[in-house]
Structure formats: structure tokens, C-alpha cells
Structure 1
Amino acid sequence: MSSAILEARNLTKQFRGFTAVDDVNLQVQEGHIHALIGPNGAGKTTVFNLLTKFLPPTRGEILYRGKPITGMKANEIARLGLVRSFQISAVFGHMTALENVRVALQRKLGTSFHFWKPESSLDHLNDRALELLDEVGLAEYADVLTVEMPYGRKRALEVATTLALEPTLMLLDEPTQGMGAEDVDRIVELIRRVATGRTVLMVEHNLRVVSRLCDRITVLARGAVLAEGGYQQVAHDPQVREAYMGSEATGEATA
């Protein structure tokens, strides 16, 4: 049986008296793809920011592999293997795909700010960078400037730069946002592939994506957990349908 790799206990966040996250309890099981979904104002992004230490909680506790990380900083938990994609996904348009992945690999080495070293000093990272590009289906884009890449391929590049930090738990924020159907299908298959041997927690608005990918789903409404379970379980929950699933027929809902 899987064990919880990430756990939130009674997680609460208040902003000037407004409760954005209200006593949320969450367990992400190791090896699962777990989704946070909910309507506008549900608190999904705030929960995500709390879990990844971009916001401090008002109350509550966060544990990673059973150890408290509530007081740690985002860069500290990243070193533990808990990596949020946008932490390193601001790809550089003036660099090639290969160069972007090399930057991420350099971060892992702790030499990110050695600006005085020649570019050739990073050549030893090329083989691993090419492997990561191939893993996300971007081998043919290795020498292409990022600014010239299609949007969906840029998002795949962001996944490659995340993988460069060797995460055990990947946190993906709206990975298919703004994509056409073809790119969505490509990213779904990419997430399924890179999730092998890893755990994924994702905020996602596209219910078709959630139904195809996720082992478990947590539904938030008004900052609290409304329901949790597999897709069929939450999709048929009357409270969930009332709060969130009004656009179920199209497979999408507002983020």
C-alpha cells in the first residue's frame, strides 16, 4: 500500500480576516498522480502556494515523507526533491532548448552564479541535457531558440527543466492551460510518462485531463475540502456537481 509522501494537516490561510484556505487536510500518496480541482475562488492556488512554501500558513502543518517542513523555505524543500515546475520553468527565450536545460542542471550542481566561467565549462552537461530533451519529446528542438518554439513545446521544455532537478514529487500548476487539443494530448502523455517512479500533484482545470491521468482527486470549494476520491467517485458526488461540474459535458471548467 502506498504511503503519504506529502501531507497537510489542518492547513489554514487567512488574509486580513478572510479565510482563503480553511482547515484543509490532504494526503498525497507516493507514486500517485493527484489533482487539486475546484471552481473559481476555491483556494486551489493558495493551497498550492502553501504546500510549496511560497506562502506561510496561518495555522496547520505540512509534512514531507513524515517530517515537518512547515517552517522551511521553497529552495530548501526543492533540495529535498519537492519541486514546483514554475520555480525553474521561466525559460529563457534567447537561449536554445539545450541551453535552458543546462541552466537547470547547473542549479543542481550549485554553480548557478559562477558567471565568470566560460560557456564551454558546461559542455559536460550536454549529454544529460539531451537525454532530458529526448525524454520530453524535444530532441529535435535542442538547438532551437526557445522564443521560436510553439507554446506547447515550451511547456514540455518546462517539464524538462523540472526533471533536471531530479524531483521525487513534481508539483504542476495548470500544465495544460491555454493549449489546443493536440498540445493537451501531448502533455497528458508526457506527464504520464515522466510520472513513472515519481509522484505528481497538479492543479488542473481540464476535467478530461484529470479523468485520464489522476489516481486521486481532491475537490476544493470556498477554501475547504469538498470531496476526495477517484474521478468517478467525485464526478458523481451531488455536492461536487453543484459546486464545480456545471461544464462537465465539455470536460472543462473554469480554473
Structure 2
Amino acid sequence: MQPDIILETKGLTKEFRGFVAVRSVDLKVRRGSIHALIGPNGAGKTTVFNLLTKFHIPSAGSIAFNGIDITHEKPAQTARRGIVRSFQISAVFPQLSVLENVKIALQRKAGLDYRFWQPVAALHTLDPQAMALLDQVGLSNASHLLAGDLPYGRKRTLEIATTLALDPELLLLDEPTQGMGHEDVDRIKDLIKQVSAQRTILMVEHNMKVVADISDTITVLQRGEILAEGPYAQVSIDPAVREAYMGTEEEEHV
């Protein structure tokens, strides 16, 4: 594996009882980049994410992270290596405060998540780090609020904060702007760009304006196979891509 490639798949394939959801996907994610995985519904994007995070076992092919074959690792092993999928840890705890949600993720990172016998006061040492994360995502003023009371877009922002608390080397974002209004989309887009300075991001995203604005590389899937790959300027003019996906999405997001 080239040193600037953090994640590489070769011939990645997943078959479900005769249906091939992902077929021979060769993916290279460059370290420090924002790499978007796009395609119409049913293209295999979520299956690829599930393969990378080990919720599915590949039918064929391999996955390497930092040059190490992780194809047959357990999900927890892969997460410990620094591959974390956004919204996987969270389903925000609605009855806990915003600050407490982030502290739970910090406890997990520190290996303290099962130490229930510790007095609550002992966890106050995590407060400065938790507040720094909330400040990074623009939620410091909401730290005292119940997570369940946050508007939808702010909940998604909190989910990103809890993911960042695990200090991932590779962050997988699964539809980070789904269901959001324009203002929240812009906020999340800016946040993704901001946090990418310290890590690599692979994201599945339908909003083509977000993809165009912040992605370094785009991989287009169709029927489980790679249809095209490259920067937005190149991919967006590919006739096959426009026919399969980009045209209808561009119309929706103009």
C-alpha cells in the first residue's frame, strides 16, 4: 500500500443469497482527504460502509488500513484502530445533557465506560475536554440542555461531536446532512471541512452541493460497482455518471 493511502479495498464483494450488493470494488482513500461515496439508491454505498466497519463479512476481496489487512477483524478491533462511523455510537441519549453525551464517548475512549462504581465527581476531569469538543462544533452554549430537546440539525452536530471524542483517524460519515434544512446543511458542511484538518473523512452523501464544495475525490457506485472516480469537475461531466445519478441530484439541489 502506498504511504499516502490510509484505506484500500481490493475486489471487495458482498453477496446476499445470490444477490450481489457490492462487486469487485477497488477503493483507495488518500490520507488527509475528504472522499465522497455517491450513487443512486441501491448502489451499494451502505453495504460498503458496513463492510468497512465489519457489520458484514466480505464474500470476497480484502480491506487494508494503514497497510494492515483488517478484512476478518471484529468490529471492535477495527474501531480501536481508529476507524469510527458517525452515528454508530450515538443515537443520542435524549435524557442526558449535551455535555454528558460527549463525556460518555470520552469515557469510552479512555476505557472508563464500564467503571460504574466511580463517583460522578471523578468524571468531572473530563469536563474541559468535553467542552472543548462542544466549542469546536459550536455547541458549547447548549452544553446544559437535554440532548432530546435539541433541534434535529443540532442533534446531528452532537453526534459528530461524540464521534470526534473517540479521536478517529478515519471518520466514516453516513449521510451527515440527510433531512436537514439549508442552514443546518451549511453548518454541517463547514464542520466537516473544519474537522478534516486533523483526519481523513470518507462520507456517503446525497447532497451534491455538499459533495462538490468539500470533496477531494468522488467515487460513484452503480449497482454495486464503481462507475467513475475523480474530482467533482471530472466526475460531474462524465456522461455515464450524469445519466445514472448526477443529473437528477443536481436538479434536486439547485
Aligned residues between the structures = 253
Amino acid at match of 1:23: S
Coordinate RMSD, CA, aligned? 1.4
Shift of 1:117: 2.1
The SS at the match of 1:101 is helix
Structure 1 segments (4+ residues) deviating >3 Å: none
Q: Distance in 2 between the 1:242 and 1:182 partners?
A: 29
- Quick one: distance in 2 between partners of 1:248 and 1:158? 26
- CA deviations on 1:182-235 (whole Å, 9 max, x unpaired) are 000000000000111210000001000000010000000000000000001111
TM-score by length of 2: 0.97
Residue 86 of structure 1: how far off its partner (Å): 2.1
Structure 2 partner of 1:231 = 232
Does structure 1 retain, via aligned residues, the 8 Å contact 2:173–2:202? Answer: yes
**Map of 1:163-178 to 2, 5 A cutoff?**
163-178=164-179
Can you list the C-alpha shifts for 1:166-188, whole angstroms capped at 9, x where unaligned? 11110000000000000000000
**Which residue of 1 is the match for residue 56 of structure 2?**
55
- Give the conservation status (yes or no) of the 8 Å contact 2:14–2:59: yes
Cα 1:60–1:252 change in 2 (3 A) is farther
Asked if structure 2 preserves the Cα contact closer than 8 Å seen for 1:33 and 1:200, the reply is yes
Which stretch has the larger CA shift, 182-191 or 105-114?
Answer: 105-114
| Equivalent in the alignment of 1:36 | 37
Q: Superposition pairs for residues 174-189 of structure 1, below 5 Å? A: 174-189=175-190
SS in 1 for 2:133: helix
Percent identity (aligned): 59
- Could you tell which deviates more after superposition, 111-120 or 218-227? 111-120
Kindly indicate whether the alpha-carbon contact (under 8 Å) linking 2:206 and 2:249 is maintained by their aligned counterparts in 1.
no
**Letter in structure 1 aligned against 2:196:** A
| 5+ residue gaps, structure 1 | none
1:106 equivalent in structure 2: 107
Per-residue deviation at 1:2? 7.0
Is the contact made by 1:10 and 1:60 (CA closer than 8 Å) also made in structure 2?
A: yes
User: For residues 1-255 of structure 1, what are the structure 2 equivalents within 5 Å?
Assistant: 3-250=4-251, 252=253
Letter in 2 for 1:162: T
Q: Deviations over 1:1-23 (max 9, x none)?
A: 97110011000000001100000
How many Å separate the matches in 2 of 1:31 and 1:249?
A: 27
| Displacement of 1:165 | 0.6
* Unaligned ranges ≥5, structure 2: none
Distance 2:164 2:106 in 1: 9
Alignment check: 8 A CA contact 1:208 1:251 kept = no
